[in-house]
Amino acid sequence: MIPSLPLKTLQNVEFRNLLTGRFVIVMAFRMLATLLGWWVYQLTKDPFSIGLIGLSEVIPAVSCALYAGHVIDMNEKKKLLLICNYAYVFLIGLLLIPAFLNVELHFSGHQITYFIYTVIFFTGIARAFIGPIVPSMIPQIVQKINLPNAITLNQATFLISSVCGHAAGGFLIEFYGIKWTLTVIIGLIILASFFFWKLKPQFSSHKKGEVKVMESIKEGVSYIFKTKEILGALCLDMFAVLFGGAVAMIPVFATDILKSGANGLGLLNAASDIGSMIIITTLSIVPLRKNQGKVLLAVVAGFGLCIIGFGLSEYYWLSFMFLVLSGMLDGISVVIRGTIVQLKTPDHIRGRVLSANSIFIMSSNEMGQFESGLAAKLLGVVKSVVVGGTLTVMIAASVGVFNSKLRKMQY
């Protein structure tokens, strides 16, 4: 395959609309994540309560993910994307009730916290669908020769919006408070829908009712398990980030260890995404040419070492730099894993494979948030982060030894 010219894919107007809509909605989601972590910790002063945010979302998201993949493959994707978009508008809008009417309705801190968990539970159902839809639409929008470049640009867009969302979230919380930050988040989600409306419909190649649900789900899952490169890459991501993710505990570090306040929280939350953004932007211009499997294993191990450094640091800017470096290494991992999954998945089962992929991602991120909260409660915040980073290094070494296909993988 002859590589496409750098950024050539952006000449595609529909692809630009898809990326712009994704940029706006991911920015809103990252602002929301920053706000919820800060809000819940201020209400409870308990690190474990932050972990419960992730658990509240991941349980319905993982439970619905395989069925969501079937629905995506069997139905028109643009319509599903817009339904999920407006479901988020409604659900996040419910959080305005305690934000604006807390004093009038005399809510207690625990009541607000439980209400947040309930709303996030239902957003988890929407996430099961919206997560795989955008990547599943890309191969039908761009030519195959431009697909690796499109995947890199998609990841770069995701990370740039994450940086903007985390930083903007911290800034808005500091200067305008929770209720107006929520208002901005809802406005951004509505704005994203305007770009999604401009996309062309993408109809399924399957006739309605042609494939039974369980048979459809089984086909997607079995394809992952028989394709060792995909399985190895997804397992590596899930277990490494599950134990090595320190982001969930950043509100605790910012408040109790580094004494940096809400502005410092926003910058720390954005730090790993800044690193990822830098490296992914570089990779969109100078792509990896060989030994991608070995590189993947090396960067995951390096990611774990950075998390150990972050956990041990007591200086704000040193902690910030460890997170930036971890983001750079994770960015390389994201590009390699995303390209492996897209290039090795046929179009007719792409939604199901990407939905199964989303289980691994959600398990690593949201279950990682819960694991971080539980480990922090049992071991203490600093020790839990150091132990998690150590386990990440060990997992990378183990996958390298036992999965030779992934180790030798090149594309």
303 lies in a domain?
yes
Tens of pLDDT, residue by residue over 212-240, are 777 777 887 888 888 878 888 888 877 77
Q: Which band of pLDDT confidence, cut at 50, 70 and 90, is reported for residue 271? A: confident
Q: How far is CA 367 from the centre of its chain?
A: 12
Q: Which band of pLDDT confidence, cut at 50, 70 and 90, is reported for residue 149? A: confident
User: Strand, helix or coil at 348?
Assistant: helix
2 lies in a domain?
no
What pLDDT does 209 receive? 58
Q: Could you report how far apart the first and last alpha carbons of the chain are, in Å?
A: 9
What pLDDT does 364 receive? 62
Mean pLDDT rounded to a whole number for the chain: 83
Give me 6's structure tokens.
């750098």
Comparing CA positions, the residue from 371, 393, 372, 370 lying closest to residue 381 is 372
352 lies in a domain?
yes
The answer on pLDDT for 381 being more than 90 is no
How many Å apart are CA 312 and CA 316, to the nearest integer?
11
H or E segment at 148?
helix 147-197
Give me 374's structure tokens.
């539980």
Comparing CA positions, the residue from 406, 163, 397, 136 lying closest to residue 274 is 163
The answer on pLDDT for 100 being more than 70 is yes
Q: Which band of pLDDT confidence, cut at 50, 70 and 90, is reported for residue 253? A: confident
Tens of pLDDT, residue by residue over 171-212, are 888 888 889 999 999 999 999 999 999 999 887 666 555 667
Percent residues over pLDDT 90 in the chain: 21
Ramachandran sector of residue 211 (left: φ over 0; alpha: ψ -120 to 50; beta: rest): beta
Q: Which band of pLDDT confidence, cut at 50, 70 and 90, is reported for residue 105? A: low
Highest mean pLDDT (candidates 93-107, 184-198, 244-258): 184-198
Percent residues over pLDDT 70 in the chain: 90
**Between these two residues, 237 and 126, which has the higher pLDDT value?**
126
345 lies in a domain?
yes
Mean pLDDT calculated for residue range 159-177: 83
**Between these two residues, 362 and 249, which has the higher pLDDT value?**
249
The answer on pLDDT for 3 being more than 50 is no
How many Å apart are CA 411 and CA 401, to the nearest integer?
20
Is the Cβ–Cβ distance between 389 and 63 less than 8 Å? no
Mean pLDDT calculated for residue range 259-287: 78
**Between these two residues, 209 and 407, which has the higher pLDDT value?**
407
What pLDDT does 25 receive? 95
**Between these two residues, 185 and 259, which has the higher pLDDT value?**
185
What pLDDT does 367 receive? 64
The answer on pLDDT for 104 being more than 70 is no
What pLDDT does 7 receive? 61
- CB crowding 355-367: b at 16 or more within 10 Å, else e: bbbbbbbbbbbbb
Q: Which band of pLDDT confidence, cut at 50, 70 and 90, is reported for residue 108? A: confident
How many Å apart are CA 306 and CA 328, to the nearest integer?
10
The answer on pLDDT for 331 being more than 80 is yes
**Residue 392, amino acid:** T
What pLDDT does 243 receive? 75
340 lies in a domain?
yes
Q: Residue 251 is part of a domain; what is its CATH number?
A: 1.20.1250.20
Cβ neighbours, 10 Å, residue 75: 16
The answer on pLDDT for 1 being more than 50 is no
Cβ neighbours, 10 Å, residue 211: 17
What pLDDT does 22 receive? 93
The answer on pLDDT for 2 being more than 60 is no
The DSSP secondary-structure symbol of 5 reads P
The DSSP secondary-structure symbol of 45 reads -
Parent domain of 376: 12-199+211-407
Helices (H) and strands (E) in the chain, counts: 15, 0
Give me 71's structure tokens.
């629905």
- Number of domains the chain is built from: 1
Mean pLDDT calculated for residue range 27-32: 93
The DSSP secondary-structure symbol of 75 reads S
The answer on pLDDT for 277 being more than 90 is no
5 lies in a domain?
no
191 lies in a domain?
yes
204 lies in a domain?
no
Tens of pLDDT, residue by residue over 33-89, are 889 988 888 888 887 787 788 788 888 888 888 888 888 888 889 999 999 999 999
